[in-house]
A and B are shown apart, each in its own frame.
Chain A
Amino acid sequence: MRWFWYASPQTFFPLAGTIGRVAAVLATALALAGLYVGFFVAPTDAQQGEAYRIIFIHVPAAWMSMFLYVVMAFWAAIGLAMNTRLSAMMARALAPTGALFTFIALWTGSLWGRPTWGTWWVWDARLTSELILLFLYLGFMALQAAIDERRRADRAGAVLAIVGVVNIPIIYYSVQWWNTLHQGASVSFARAPSMAAAMFTGMLLMALAFWMYSIAVAMGRVRCLIVEEGQ
């Protein structure tokens, strides 16, 4: 296997187009299947009624938001260590999608919280760390946007992403600990004891659909970046 054959932007450009198209088709199909299962097959929740159905968007978005930060930091680190342009472009291309999913997770969580808890926002550990994750994404994007010179922007962003990825577990656990200290709003996050199989299938399908969507969008963005840099 010639692993580095596709590390060059020129050779990757057509491949990115193919991967992007395939991922887009898969994303559409999986999303349709996932939404069908979510809306028509999955039973109504005994406690939460129909409002729970937002988890088919919410939970996959939250998963992707965390996963994409790690992927982004991985490509950024590779780009910093091996000085490969394409890796830096991948990191740059993934950041807006990650931020989008973080925002969707917060937004849908808020929409779910209103009927279920009676409030748009609680300072729960997960909500708070998700909010800080959004700040980390925005900081990464703002830093890259503030630096005109591409190479410097990518390398500076890479350092920030690595520092961020080291900090995320620390932030998560400190926020969780903080939350147990301040037990103000006593909201139980315990999920229904046994999730119906259809619910889980729907969630899994939607997670795969979001994953494919991320790949499709990132590939499209990488192609734009390659053209932009005139390679």
Chain B
Amino acid sequence: MILEAARTLVARDLRLALRQKSDVGTALLFFVIVASLFPLGIGAEPDRLRSIAPGVIWVSALLSTLLSLRRLFEGDYADGTLEQILLGAAPLPVAVAAKTAAHWLVAGLPLVLIAPLIALQYDVAASLYGVLALSLLLGTPVLSIIGAIGAALTLGLRGGGVLLALLVLPLYVPVLVMGAGAVETAAAGLDPAGQLLLLAALLIVAAVFAPWAIATALRISSE
């Protein structure tokens, strides 16, 4: 029954996202545009681009995730669906975990898929694409999960978007450090397994504990 509810929620959120393709596209386009701005601001020497690429891609992924977080609960809150979820039989942590997973599928996974294209623009060695994609694959779900706590806390507040950034970005620091660090370590010819394992550990810890925090935050916000 619980899995059924989770599957229904994921399917519903994915269907909604597919019906409003522009929302999904905007965050992805934002990612590409931010990453494209850095060479214009810093200069396009290949050596410098290669050295800043992991950081630029990761920071862009952070900002892009942040941009799409508002959608996570705002629509459901406005049209009353959220209240039905709160009243529903499925445990709230499961429901929010499903919604967060759907958010990652819509907002995080496309970033993972398009990142090698940005890496190509930054003249990153082709052998690093795998590490880059893997680090994003492990890291972007953490961004969605931690971001969901912030989105739940700022639900329905005026100026919520800027506030959300203020709350969530400091908490993103470990993911940024480990994610960009994995790629840089691989670029230096070392084994990035350590950072990737730490990212995986962050993912597991966040996935296990955060749903309760998100559920509590949602209950507080929708009282």
Contacts and interface: CB of A to CB of B under 8 A. Distances in A.
Contacts of A132: 170, 173
A147 B223 CA distance: 13
B153 interface: yes
Contacts of A146: 154, 157-160, 163
Nearest to A155: B220
Interface in A139-192: 139, 142-143, 146-147, 152, 155-156, 159-160, 162-164, 166-167, 170-171, 174-175, 177-178, 181
A167 B216 CA distance: 18
B173 A143 contact: no
A169 B173 CA distance: 12
A172 to B, nearest CB: 9
A171 B154 contact: no
B184 interface: yes
B213 A135 contact: no
A82 to B, nearest CB: 15
B131 interface: no
Nearest to A140: B167
Interface residues of A, number: 27
Given A146-B159, A146-B163, A163 B171 contact: yes
Nearest to A179: B177
Q: Size band of the B side of the interface?
A: 20 to 34
A51 interface: no
Contacts of B110: none
Contact of A143 (B163, B169, B177, B209): B163
Contacts of A177: 177, 181
A162 B210 CA distance: 11
B160 to A, nearest CB: 8
Nearest to B171: A167
A204 interface: no
Interface string A88-114: 000000000000000000000000000
A135 B166 contact: yes
A138 B170 CA distance: 11
Contacts of B8: none
B97 interface: no
A122 interface: no
Nearest to A171: B173
B120 to A, nearest CB: 25
Given A146-B158, A178-B181, A159 B163 contact: no
B12 to A, nearest CB: 26
Contacts of A147: 157
A136 interface: yes
Nearest to B220: A155
A102 to B, nearest CB: 12
A175 B177 CA distance: 7
Contact of B220 (A152, A164, A166, A178): A152
Given A142-B167, A159-B153, A171-B170, 9 more contacts: A132-B173, A139-B166, A155-B220, A159-B213, A160-B153, A163-B213, A164-B171, A170-B202, A174-B174
- Which 10 A-B pairs rank lowest in CB-CB distance, beginning with the nearest? A174-B174, A135-B170, A174-B177, A178-B177, A139-B167, A155-B220, A139-B166, A156-B153, A170-B174, A159-B217
26 contacts: A132-B170, A135-B166, A139-B166, A142-B166, A142-B167, A143-B153, A143-B163, A143-B167, A146-B154, A146-B157, A147-B157, A152-B221, A156-B217, A159-B149, A159-B153, A159-B216, A159-B220, A160-B167, A167-B171, A170-B174, A171-B170, A175-B173, A178-B177, A178-B181, A181-B181, A181-B184
